[in-house]
Amino acid sequence: MAQPQPEAAPATGQLDLAGEFLDRRTPLSRVRSVLHRYPAISPAIVLVIAIIIFGSINDRFLYPGNLSLILQQVAVVGTLALAQTLVILTAGIDLSVGAAMIFASMIVAQTAANNGLPGVLSLFIGLLAGLAAGALNGFLVTRLRLPPFIVTLGTLNIFVALTLLYSKGATVRGAELPDVITATGLPIAIGDVRITVGVLMMLALYVLLAFILGKTAWGRHVYAVGDDKEAARLAGISVNKVLMSVYLAAGAILAVGAWIQIGRTNAASPNAGVDLNLDSITAVVIGGTSLFGGRGVVWGTLLGAIIVGVFRSGLSLAGLDVLYQTLAVGVLIIVAVSVDQWIRKVRS
């Protein structure tokens, strides 16, 4: 009297259908969500392709000497771009970062060369100058609630003027400075590659900041503030405290940048680095950090800074006029921001 068992297949068939329905993603959108999750991938791909192309155009591009030169050229911009990354992660922007760095470098050089202070003390005063610059920006952004763009546009001009007033337009040569201040320019040989103390310091700062942003509550709060300020506030984060600490940290980092700059050029010049503000933003943007805040990693910024260096070096070794380097960097920026916009569509 056994009756034939009804087949259970229809139920599972329906489930499969539902699963298929949920995972209706094209390969392209899958690529997009991977890029969205790991913002450093796109600059890494660009860098590898650029190195392959420039290396095949001119053998000398891949010489250890040339690669180490690129790193040395990147050291100052790379350090400033790290400060810039912090600010941009909070959905701000710091136009004054280069001017503040030159200001700090002139204070270090002048107090050592003209006032005869010991090198270490001069460097410490330079650090205080960087922190003061960051505190001013942070105060104006958090207390007066002005947009960071306007605040730093103002302080950019203030720092440029203060630098020229303080230094009277005079350059301090490396020979006039204590050894500790120019030590950042000392070469270190690793095999055939010769890098400088300044390059190592920059890399150390990246490791430090990657750790802090990735592993501590403060780092998570920086992302949360940049992502959605109101949501961060309602979650119990003190938004103003986070913003203030970000600008102070940027000030400390740019003071280290000032030290690296003096070693790199073996001088402190009030007219140096007029483009450093924009170059640092360029590195951050090419590195995949979103100008809208909350998304990006410091390693992307390092790659972005190196990409700019690689393009400049590669194009000049390819025998192209220096103007084409600028043109290429301009195209890179627009492509990078377009890619960022595309990646951000994952949200909707």
Partner 1 sequence: MTATAPAARPTPTVEPILEARRLVKTYGRVVGLDGVSLKLYPGEVLAIIGDNGAGKSTLIKCLTGAEVADEGEIFLEGKPVSFKRPQDARTHGIETVYQNLAVSPALDVASNLYLGREQRLPGPLGSVLRILDTKGMRLRATEELKKLGISTLQDVTVPVENLSGGQRQAVAVARAAAFGSKVVVLDEPTAALGVRESNQVLQLVRDLRDRGLPVILISHNMPHVFDVADRIHIQRLGKCAATITPQSHSMTDAVAIMTGAAKA
Question: Given candidates 197, 224, 276, 305, which one binds partner 1 under the rule CB under 8 A?
Answer: 224
336 close to 97: Cβ distance less than 8 angstroms: no
One-character DSSP codes across 74-131: HHHHHHHHHHHHHHHHTT---TTHHHHHHHHHHHHHHHHHTS---HHHHHHHHHHHHH
By CB under 8 A, the count of residues binding partner 1 is 24
Residue with tokens 């400088």: 196
Q: Which stretch binds partner 1 (CB under 8 A): 136-144, 219-227, 250-258, 330-338?
A: 219-227
Query: Which residue number, 24 or 347, has a Cβ lying nearer to partner 1?
Result: 347
- 269 to 308: interface string for partner 1, x by CB under 8 A: -------------------------xx-------------
Cα separation, 308 vs 321, whole angstroms = 16
Q: Which stretch binds partner 1 (CB under 8 A): 156-164, 221-229, 249-257, 318-326?
A: 221-229
Cα separation, 207 vs 315, whole angstroms = 30
DSSP letter (8 states) at residue 272: S
Question: Given candidates 93, 95, 112, 232, which one binds partner 1 under the rule CB under 8 A?
Answer: 232
Cα separation, 86 vs 219, whole angstroms = 10
> CA separation (Å) from 185 to 75, 178, 201?
10, 13, 11
Question: Given candidates 49, 231, 320, 335, which one binds partner 1 under the rule CB under 8 A?
Answer: 231
Q: Which stretch binds partner 1 (CB under 8 A): 47-55, 140-148, 225-233, 250-258?
A: 225-233
Question: Given candidates 17, 144, 175, 234, which one binds partner 1 under the rule CB under 8 A?
Answer: 234
**Letter for the amino acid at 318?**
A
**Letter for the amino acid at 182?**
T
Query: Which residue number, 108 or 242, has a Cβ lying nearer to partner 1?
Result: 242
Q: Quick check: 346 binds partner 1 (CB under 8 A)?
A: yes
Q: Which residues bind partner 1 (CB under 8 A)?
A: 33, 37, 215-218, 220-221, 223-224, 227-228, 230-237, 294-295, 346-347
